[in-house]
A = this chain, B = another copy of it.
Amino acid sequence: MDYMKDVVFSTRIRLARNIKDLPFPHRLSGEEEIYGVLMKGVEQAVSKLMKADFYKMSDMDELTKQTLVEKHLISPGLTQSQYGAVVVSKNEDVSVMINEEDHIREQCIMDGYAPEQAYQTIAAVDKEIGKVLVVAHDEKLGYLNTCPTNLGAGMRASVMLFLPALSMSGAIGSIIRAIQDLGFTTRGVYGEGSKAQGFMYQISNQAAIGQSERQILDRLNGVVMKIVDAERQARSNLAKTQGVKLKDKIMRAYGTLKYAAMMSSEEFMELLALVKWGVCEHYIDADMDKLNSLITVTQPAMLCKLAGKKLGADERDVARAAMVRNLLKDRQ
Residues of B contacting A256 with CB < 8 Å? 252, 255-256
Q: CB of A261 within 8 A of chain B?
A: yes
Q: Establish whether residues A252 and B245, one from each chain, have CB atoms under 8 Å apart when the complex forms.
A: no
Roughly how many angstroms separate A245 CA and B261 CA in the complex, as a whole number?
Answer: 8
Q: List 23 A-B contacts (CB under 8 A).
A: A244-B261, A244-B318, A245-B262, A247-B261, A248-B260, A248-B262, A251-B259, A251-B260, A251-B261, A252-B255, A252-B256, A252-B260, A252-B261, A254-B255, A254-B259, A255-B255, A255-B257, A255-B258, A255-B259, A255-B260, A256-B256, A258-B258, A258-B259
Roughly how many angstroms separate A256 CA and B245 CA in the complex, as a whole number?
Answer: 14
Q: CB of A321 within 8 A of chain B?
A: yes
Chain A contacts to B: CB under 8 angstroms: 244-245, 247-248, 251-252, 254-262, 318, 321, 330
Residues of B contacting A252 with CB < 8 Å? 255-256, 259-261
Roughly how many angstroms separate A244 CA and B245 CA in the complex, as a whole number?
Answer: 30
Roughly how many angstroms separate A255 CA and B244 CA in the complex, as a whole number?
Answer: 18
Which residue in chain B gives the minimum CB-CB distance to A249? B261
Which residue in chain B gives the minimum CB-CB distance to A318? B244
Roughly how many angstroms separate A67 CA and B178 CA in the complex, as a whole number?
Answer: 58
Minimum CB–CB distance from A262 to chain B (whole Å) comes to 5
Most chain B beta carbons < 10 A, residue from A245, A252, A318 = A252
Roughly how many angstroms separate A261 CA and B242 CA in the complex, as a whole number?
Answer: 13
Which residue in chain B gives the minimum CB-CB distance to A245? B262
Roughly how many angstroms separate A245 CA and B245 CA in the complex, as a whole number?
Answer: 28
Residues of B contacting A330 with CB < 8 Å? 330
Residues of B contacting A255 with CB < 8 Å? 252, 254-260
Which residue in chain B gives the minimum CB-CB distance to A315? B244
Minimum CB–CB distance from A283 to chain B (whole Å) comes to 8
Minimum CB–CB distance from A111 to chain B (whole Å) comes to 27
Most chain B beta carbons < 10 A, residue from A244, A245, A255, A258 = A255
Q: Establish whether residues A244 and B262, one from each chain, have CB atoms under 8 Å apart when the complex forms.
A: yes
Residues of B contacting A258 with CB < 8 Å? 255, 258-259
Residues of B contacting A248 with CB < 8 Å? 260-262, 321
Roughly how many angstroms separate A37 CA and B173 CA in the complex, as a whole number?
Answer: 77
Residues of B contacting A321 with CB < 8 Å? 248
Most chain B beta carbons < 10 A, residue from A256, A261, A321 = A261
Minimum CB–CB distance from A25 to chain B (whole Å) comes to 45
Give 4 new A-B contacts, CB below 8 A, not counting A248-B321, A251-B260.
A247-B261, A252-B259, A252-B260, A255-B259
Residues of B contacting A257 with CB < 8 Å? 255
Minimum CB–CB distance from A307 to chain B (whole Å) comes to 15
Minimum CB–CB distance from A79 to chain B (whole Å) comes to 32
Roughly how many angstroms separate A102 CA and B247 CA in the complex, as a whole number?
Answer: 49
